[in-house]
Amino acid sequence: MRRKQVILFFLIIGWLSPPAVMAIQRFPKPEFESGYVVPDAQLPLPRAELLAWLDVTVLLLTLSLATYLVLKRRSRMGVFLLSLFSLAYFGFYRQGCVCSIGAIQNVTMALFSGSYTVPLTVLFFFLIPLVFTLLFGRTFCAAVCPFGTFQDLVSFRPVRMGAWLNAFLGMIPYLYLGLAVLFAATTTEFIICRYDPFVGIFRLNASFGMFLFAGLLLVSGVFIARPYCRFLCPYGVLLNWMSQFSWKHMTITPAECIQCRLCENVCPYDAIDFPQTKKNPAGQRKQVNQLILLSLLLPLLVLGGVWTGGKMHLTLAGVNSRVRLARMIQATPVSKDQPEIPEITAFRSSGVQQQQLMTEVATIEDDFLTGSRIFGGFVGLVFGITLIRLIRTPYRTDYLPNRGTCFSCAKCMDYCPVLKDKTNN
Amino acid sequence: MDKQSRRQFIRLAVRGTLFGGIALVTGNLILRQGEPLFGKNRKSGPTVWQLNPAKCIQCGRCATNCVKTPSAVKCTHAYSMCGYCNLCSGYFKPGTKTLDTGAEKQLCPVSAIKRTFVEDPFYEYTIDETLCIGCGKCVKGCGAFGNGSLQLQVRHPLCDNCNECSIARNCPAGAYRRVPLSDPYLLKGFGKEKV
Amino acid sequence: MKKLLPDEILVKFLRLLAMISGIFSLLICILIFINFFQLKRTDPLNSPALTLLQERLIQNPGDIALKQDIRQLDLMARKVFFTSQWQIRAGGYLLVACILVMIICLKTIELITPKIPSIAATGPEEPWNLRKIQRRWIIIAGILLVTFSLTLVWFTHRMLTGIPAEAGHLKANVSGRDSITGNPVLQSPVASLTSDTVRLLGNAVKSNQAVAEDFPTQQEIRSNFPSFRGPGGNGIAFQKNIPVLWDGASGKNIGWKTEIPLPGYNSPIIWKDKIFLSGAKENKREVYCLGASDGKILWTTDLSKIPGSPGQNPKVNAETGLAAPTLTTDGQRIYTIFANGDLAALDFEGKIIWTKSLGLPKNHYGHSSSLIMYHDMLIIQYDQTVSGKVIAFAGKTGEKVWETARNVKVSWASPVLANTGSRMELLLAAEPDVTSYDPATGKELWKLDCISGEVGPSVTYANGMVFSINEYSKLAAIRLGETPSLAWEDNEYLSDVPSPVAINDIVIVVTSYGVVVCYDAATGKKYWVKELEKSVYSSPMIAEGKIYILDKQGMMHILRADKILAVIGEPSLGEGSVCTPAFGEGRIYIRGNKHLFCITK
């Protein structure tokens, strides 16, 4: 009986090459006598590819200009004006998508998933700022990234944060980066995009929660300068690493520091390292001991991270839609009077057997076990290294920007009384 | 070697390593795209989001989960498949007997479908995109009793093409996927839009 | 450069402007939120008033005034919807404009006000102190993070363990071997639902001193698989963590497979770590014991020559064979019967304890009724063409405890033991009756004329109802009580080999031509019908809320034991089979046409 229907179905539309289940020609195509011509479906085209390459070009140009303005011209005003342009172009015109921050996920997914290839334009959005930062410091943050420039614009009354709060909150970006990579590598979801606070404002359209988050960030951003950049941005972690080993980084003073202390309090991001010439009263001995102890502890921290990560894997896997579906199917008692959950309805009509789903989910959960362990190990390592680096108090004679955390925004330069001309001799 | 130059050397070495790392990742990502890197058939081109009407179950989430309001997903009419029925199950509520355009008979909650007489007994149905909210009620009706010529599609000029589509994340049927920019619609039909 | 305004006045003006635009944007913000929530709350497009009127219209299609009302309301709803959306959008633009004005003002103030660097009177704090504090806070962050993660894990774990059914599959492999004897499975959801079925099977009163007793407790019976179709022969296994995925061809999840020397259509039974089955050919009858862990044949006992054996082979149908009845065990001995009426009790080492010959059964297809234990009694349904009977032997000695003559035609069904709430009943089926006996004495309790023909399928019991079925007869649902009566019957899908199973409020029938039907146990309403398109001789088993149906080609159809059809899996054995699977903890044992398979996870 059913087979007959199927045969009939193919007889009817067989010559039309059966494209989909739903394309059932129940009613024949009418033959019009009035001369009516069947119109084509209206299918307007998306944004042309050329414009995506224009974006890459604009990125390259603004980044070069920003670098020039920071390193050569040392012009805060220039940086500010350029940042307005970037905000307008990458923010309000391009609506913040695809941005370099989100591109982390595309690149990760392309690295781990066989089916996804990252578009070249997206790859460039990921790479160009990294390369620039490796050469010249985080000029991308200063004047190109629409998120950074937006927050910079509203930081009217920046207050200095306690060192402890900086250290405490400073750990969040590593977690965020780790989670984003984990979820992207398992093709689960793009959490950076999902919890992106500013695109909603750029588009003037977002969910209520998104607006609330954005509002909170911007209002707190009046007092805490660049809260997203410092305490959330996962791309900032990568830029931080790059910037620490950059070839030419901006300096506060164009020539020799005269120790005038004028720049001491001007950096709203606490990114200026003060001179440090005194000896630690605790003595060299104690520092070395602490260093040895922590270095021995480091593998333990990593192992602890791996262990916790392994424990977490089922929790983290719950974010994956397939895993969620499987759990939903299991948790939902099958009864006729209950309203159907769309996920389950769709699954039933997909023709995939539950066993297939279970096998698939088991593989996903396995991936998550490996991924969560690596993620945990990474977090443990980051904690360990951060602790180790906090033991040393390096000898320093001048006021220097902290290469890792400095956004190269050039704000401090205006406060330096040393004249540029002196550099030239 | 004094302290300063030692530090410089370490920095140089690490910088070199980081460059190498970046180059490695880039090379890997570009090489795995395979030939050709440019031209029409390459894989590395930009993508857009689209939903596959064959998988769609018309749950109504396209209307509510898009980052845009109203949603960038609209009902799209593949005229070539349409039966031009007088009693259109995508236009009329089930059980409608007298076939006029009274609001109480229309399935569409925003009255976005226009019904125009062509010739006896055929009627043409057009979607007013400025009104359509992408709820998929008409799509469900047409698919259930008609030819299935009404289908939901992401309308690209309206779509922001988010890095990860918010509807895709919530689609219960997994009908959304990234499609190449050169082939941005998955409308199923018998005319030019045949896929 | 000449200035239009002195700086102070300009700053004052800008400050005022910034303040006004700030307050204004705050107001707009609040308005947008109010509008947004109103739209969310009222949801004009799905207004209940409109739905109500629509429903009324369906009842009175001719009501023109009602139609007018609907049209007006619909128009209004749409107006509200689109106006609200417009308001929100316009508000959004206005808000951005205001904030822009505010930002411009504030930035301009910033630009024209001279910047004075502030220098703290005291120098910065000692760096090592700062770093010490930072280290402390990073450690605090780490501890908080780990605590938070573990709490989250704990909650997820609780949530996940709350999931019944297939959840076991998702978990990491749990060694089934260790827990066969380890965990009593009393708490299993399946077990508690049908607990009354088997409660009196074991001796609940004496359960405290289980090991010393002559017969196993209910717990022990449930944690093993002592007879055909599981404890009580009722088609329900109480084991957990049952595999749903394997493939005989590739060997995936096949723990081991062992060739069984002699053929036989009896199914394996399990006690602790040993599996028992039998095989026979003309003039040769053997019992095999296999180790559950590796499938090695631990011993073989030859029962070809037992005293009093008829010495001639019975005439049997090829589809019945010479060793159709499944063995049974009481945990101390195993019992076996062959098609020629030879009966034997062996100990767990394979030593013969006692033998008996019941004489060549008068049975034109071959005797196939399996054995079952009630306490320390071995019960045999011995339906023949003439003088059918049901007999109970003492397990220890082989002495006859009771014998009751049965006024029925020959049958091939097996006995079923059920606790009907107040007592244990032994349920047998053969034309013309389903008959219930007191298993302790052999006294007939009730009978109901509801079955006819050459009865192959056994009955099944669940929640006060007995279900019997036979081809060319009917599916009969008997409601027990003072006087058992026929609750409902159906004759659309009938089985001549596989027995039905029942759980909760459904009964599932598998026909030998491969149709699975799910009925409402109380009313006989059909919930679903599934065609397997393969023939089935094996009886369906229920384990962990799933029905396991093995077709003759060796494909296991795993369905959800529920009112809604769900296929969980269709793994294949790679060898044909007509035997009913046996269940161990985390394992399934299937006797194929040649091999015994152990399926693991």
| ipTM for the whole complex | 0.89
| DSSP for residue B105 | G
pLDDT tens digits, one per residue of C520-563: 998 888 888 888 888 899 999 999 889 999 999 999 999 888 88
pLDDT tens digits, one per residue of A391-420: 887 888 889 999 999 999 999 998 888 876
Nearest by CB to C134, from A208, A354, A390: name it: A390
Predicted local distance difference test score (pLDDT) of residue A25: 65
CB pair distance less than 8 Å for C45 and B110: yes
Q: How far is CA C44 from CA B90, B108, B132, C84, in A?
A: 21, 13, 15, 10
| Cβ contacts of A191 within 8 Å, gap of 6 or more | A176, A179, A180, A183
Predicted local distance difference test score (pLDDT) of residue C184: 34
Q: Considering only CB atoms, which chain C residues are within 8 Å of B97? A: 61
**Rounded mean pLDDT, C404-427:** 89
Nearest by CB to C70, from B70, B104, B131: name it: B104
CB pair distance less than 8 Å for C163 and A334: no
**Rounded mean pLDDT, C290-315:** 86
State the count of interchain CB pairs (< 8 A) between A and B. Answer: 205
| Cβ contacts of C89 within 8 Å, gap of 6 or more | A204
Q: Considering only CB atoms, which chain B residues are within 8 Å of C43? A: none
Top-confidence residue, A425 or B41: B41
Exposed/middle/buried for residue C501 (C-beta within 10 Å: 0-12, 13-18, 19+) = buried
Nearest by CB to A261, from C119, C157, C160: name it: C119
Q: What is the distance of C-alpha C202 from the center of its chain?
A: 24
C179: pLDDT strictly greater than 80:
no
B150: pLDDT strictly greater than 70:
yes
Predicted local distance difference test score (pLDDT) of residue C289: 93
A49: pLDDT strictly greater than 70:
yes
Distance CA A299, CA C503 (A): 54
Predicted local distance difference test score (pLDDT) of residue A24: 58
Give the CATH number of domain C218-599: 2.130.10.10
Predicted local distance difference test score (pLDDT) of residue A225: 92
A308: pLDDT strictly greater than 90:
yes
pLDDT tens digits, one per residue of B30-39: 887 766 666 6
Predicted local distance difference test score (pLDDT) of residue C185: 34
Top-confidence residue, C171 or C452: C452
CB of C290 closer than 8 Å to CB of C278: no
On average, the pLDDT of chain B sits at 88
Neighbouring subunits of C (3+ Cβ pairs under 8 A): A, B
Predicted local distance difference test score (pLDDT) of residue C191: 35
Top-confidence residue, A41 or C144: C144
Q: Considering only CB atoms, which chain A residues are within 8 Å of B85? A: 27
Predicted local distance difference test score (pLDDT) of residue C250: 85
Nearest by CB to B103, from C45, C74, C85: name it: C74
CB pair distance less than 8 Å for A117 and B15: no
pLDDT tens digits, one per residue of A1-31: 344 443 344 333 333 333 334 445 678 888 8
Residue C600 zone, left/alpha/beta (φ > 0; ψ -120 to 50; rest)? beta
> Considering only A70-74, A157-161, A345-349, C128-132, which range has the smallest mean pLDDT?
A345-349
A228: pLDDT strictly greater than 50:
yes
Predicted local distance difference test score (pLDDT) of residue C4: 65
pLDDT band at C3 (very low <50, low <70, confident <90, very high): low
pLDDT band at C125 (very low <50, low <70, confident <90, very high): confident
The kind and range of the H/E element at C356 are strand C352-357
Predicted local distance difference test score (pLDDT) of residue A337: 55
What's the sign of the alpha-carbon dihedral B55, B60, B62, B65?
Answer: negative
According to DSSP, the residues that pair with C352 across neighbouring strands are C346
CB pair distance less than 8 Å for C67 and B70: no
A197: pLDDT strictly greater than 80:
yes
**Rounded mean pLDDT, A35-61:** 91
Nearest by CB to C138, from A168, A265, A308: name it: A168
Distance CA A354, CA B130 (A): 41
**All structural domains of chain C with their residue ranges:** 7-112, 218-599
CB pair distance less than 8 Å for C71 and B69: no
pLDDT tens digits, one per residue of C556-591: 999 888 888 888 888 988 899 999 999 998 899 999
CB of A108 closer than 8 Å to CB of A183: no
Predicted local distance difference test score (pLDDT) of residue C166: 41
CB of C278 closer than 8 Å to CB of C264: yes
CB pair distance less than 8 Å for C88 and B97: no
For chain A, how long is the longest CA-to-CA vector? 101
**Rounded mean pLDDT, C338-348:** 90
Top-confidence residue, A248 or A22: A248
On average, the pLDDT of chain C sits at 84
**All structural domains of chain A with their residue ranges:** 54-277+403-419, 283-332+341-389
CB of B39 closer than 8 Å to CB of B90: no
Look at residue A116 and give its three-state secondary structure.
Answer: coil
Q: Closest residue of C to A372, CA-based? A: C149
B:73-112 residues touching chain C, CB 8 A cutoff:
93, 95, 97, 102-104, 109-111
Q: Considering only CB atoms, which chain C residues are within 8 Å of B102? A: 67, 71
Half-sphere exposure of A235 (CA within 13 A, CB side): 29
Q: Considering only CB atoms, which chain C residues are within 8 Å of A312? A: 149, 152-153
Nearest by CB to A346, from B11, B57, B122: name it: B57
What's the sign of the alpha-carbon dihedral C130, C135, C141, C144?
Answer: negative
pLDDT band at A335 (very low <50, low <70, confident <90, very high): low
CB pair distance less than 8 Å for B81 and A25: yes
Top-confidence residue, A340 or B125: B125
B186: pLDDT strictly greater than 80:
yes
pLDDT tens digits, one per residue of C428-437: 999 889 999 9
